Amino acid sequence: MTEMTISEAASRLDELVRRLAGSSEPIALTDRGRVTALLVAPHVIEDLEDSLAVADYRRRKAEGTLQEGIPHAEVGRILGMRP
C-alpha cells in the first residue's frame, strides 16, 4: 500500500485517480503520520459489497431465515439480459 500525506495527494490527485483505475492497491493518506483515509478504485468497493451480500445470503440460509426471493430468470428479464 502506498502512503502519502494529504497535501501531497491533493497536489497529485489527477495522477492518483488515473493510477487507481487500473489497480486494486489502495493509497493511504496520512495526517501527522497516521493513516486517516484510503483512496480505492470503485471496483474494490463493488467486490467487497458483492462478498458481503454472498456472506449474508449464506448466513441467512444457514439460519433458515432466508425469505423467498426473485427467481433468477426474472432478474435476468429485469436487467434486460433475457427476453
Please determine, for residue 83, whether its predicted confidence score (pLDDT) is greater than 70: no
How confident is the model over 24-55, as pLDDT tens digits? Answer: 999 999 999 999 999 999 999 999 998 988 89
In terms of pTM, does the model score above 0.75? Answer: no
Which residues contact residue 3 at a Cβ distance below 8 angstroms, ignoring those fewer than 6 apart?
A: 27, 28, 29, 30, 35
Amino acid 22: pLDDT: 86
**Lowest-confidence region among 26-35, 58-67, 72-81:** 72-81
Residue 71, phi then psi, degrees to nearest 5 = -60, 145
Please determine, for residue 11, whether its predicted confidence score (pLDDT) is greater than 70: yes
For all residues of the chain together, what is the average pLDDT? 90
